[in-house]
A and B are shown apart, each in its own frame.
Chain A
Amino acid sequence: MAKPKIAIFDFACCEGCQLQIVNLEEEILSLLGVADVVEWREAMSEKSDEYDIAIIEGSITRMEDEERIKRIRGCAKVLIALGACAATGGVNKLKNNFEDFEEVKKCVYGKAAGKPHLRTGVTKAVGEVVQVDYCVPGCPIDAKEFTYIVRSLLLGKTPEIPEYPVCVECKANGNPCLWQYDQVCLGPIIRAGCGARCPSSGFRCFGCRGYVDKPNVEAARDVINRYGLSVDDLKTKMVLFGSRQEPTIYE
């Protein structure tokens, strides 16, 4: 059987998720033993239009990007959204909180805001433009989860991505709840799979992996009241990765 062909593409992102793949080092060689990487700008110069699995990093922010992602989708048998920007829109969706993008650009780029390559539109997750078969959530992705997903797909198996929240992994790691240390941790409503990396290092969960399927809004409301917080307090903690994503607890 011929080795499946993998192509990796980037859109609006910091390329940090690809860096996680580059950082796999020895495991990359193992991956290359069972699959051919035919296009990967960050690591090689070849280009190709023939691939079985397309891995997409970044979100879609311009019309020409929409056309490009549609073209890629047309070539790929399986399309994977890699990282928060691709899977949910991620940090890029912060922009969608504002109505006047010209203002946003001035704020970010200053005098250069008018340059043509900085044209920008509403941020979309990849799945809002084309059909996504699998998501690797996270900012950045968890390398262990990424390799598990790739191996599963090469085996023809649907990978099992947790439906449960970060608390499960956090408690299994033997952490105390960060709320008891005055941190507004989003763990109870955010999808696990990262091994509760942030709370295990003492940082609250920022919510980079997106919400679980059925977050309990009622419970979140109860907890912020209990801790004497306002809806706005919580909103400021959710805005980084939770902008313009359903469900939100403040609507």
Chain B
Amino acid sequence: MCECCAQKKDIYLPQLATVADISQMNVTEKYLRLAMDDGPFDYIPGQFVEVSIAGIGEAPITISSSPTQGDSFELVIRKIGRVSGAIHNLQRGDKVGIRGPLGQGIYPVEESRGKNLVFICGGIGMVPQRSFIKYVLDNRGDYGDVAILQGTKSYDLRLFTAEIEAWGKRGDVQMIETLDEGDARWKGPVGVVTKLVSKVETDLKSALILVCGPPIMYKFVLMALAEHDVPHQNIFLNLERKMKCGVGKCGHCQINHAYVCMSGPVFRYSDLASLPEAI
């Protein structure tokens, strides 16, 4: 008998966490700060947790806060399904179940030190990217140039507006935000996020490019990056799938041979050559 069976350690058993803070960010997104009841866990940017709402089910959500932010962690959840709908009804003090952190979360935390970084975020792609962005900004001296490109469908769907504004004012970050649809309240650029790639002031060829957005976006971002001859090993894509069990068993998140929950959800583009189902 193996050790885990002897100890009855159950990979599917959620641990309780308490809602420390919850607020509505815009029409579809809710912000959630959670504290594990039995003490905090260590995580790295890009990792996710499985959130359980008793009776409703479980859903994978990538952590949106940085490990530099202290003991609690943050999630941002769009209301699209059963579990996310139920999360939207939570109130401060409510209990949820948490399994994790899960996944490799291989944003190139170590490799990226000293390098220039470009974050390309489409819509709620900012949510998982924010973990590494905040980590980088909290250790700003360890990195070269930092550029953040954010594209959002419409004015009312913008997220983290205060933070994004503060990042833009830091002086050591090139922050560009665009909206797909123009709006009388919006003074910035209009158009899809890929249009911003050529505006990045740092040398794209030597930078690490971190991309997260809706599945449709990747093809266009990769085309834009190809125009700048960005080497594939410098591009990192967050490929979220249906990570049902989160522990490499259930098969739902498989992209060819790769279990996204085990070897992702962040993948190096050059590693995707053997995964034709990825993009």
Contact = CB atoms under 8 A, between A and B. Distances in A.
Contacts of B55: 155, 157
B55 to A, nearest CB: 5
Nearest to B83: A157
Chain A interface main SS type: loop
Interface string B73-99: 000000000100110010000000000
Contacts of B56: 155, 157
Contacts of A158: 82
Find the residue from A156, A157, A158 having the highest chain B CB count within 10 A.
A157
Nearest to A155: B55
A211 B85 CA distance: 29
A157 B56 CA distance: 6
Interface residues of A, number: 5
Interface in A121-177: 155-158, 160
Contacts of B82: 157-158, 160
Contacts of B85: 156-157
Nearest to B55: A155
A160 B89 CA distance: 20
Interface in B33-68: 55-57
B171 to A, nearest CB: 47
Interface string A99-140: 000000000000000000000000000000000000000000
Interface string A213-232: 00000000000000000000
Contacts of B89: 156
A155 B54 CA distance: 10
B80 to A, nearest CB: 11
A154 B242 CA distance: 26
A155 B57 CA distance: 12
B216 to A, nearest CB: 22
A155 B86 CA distance: 10
B85 to A, nearest CB: 8
Interface of A: 155-158, 160
The 5 closest A-B pairs by CB, nearest first: A157-B56, A157-B82, A155-B55, A158-B82, A155-B56
Interface of B: 55-57, 82, 85-86, 89
Given A155-B56, A156-B89, A157-B57, 10 more contacts: A155-B55, A156-B85, A156-B86, A157-B55, A157-B56, A157-B82, A157-B85, A157-B86, A158-B82, A160-B82
13 contacts: A155-B55, A155-B56, A156-B85, A156-B86, A156-B89, A157-B55, A157-B56, A157-B57, A157-B82, A157-B85, A157-B86, A158-B82, A160-B82
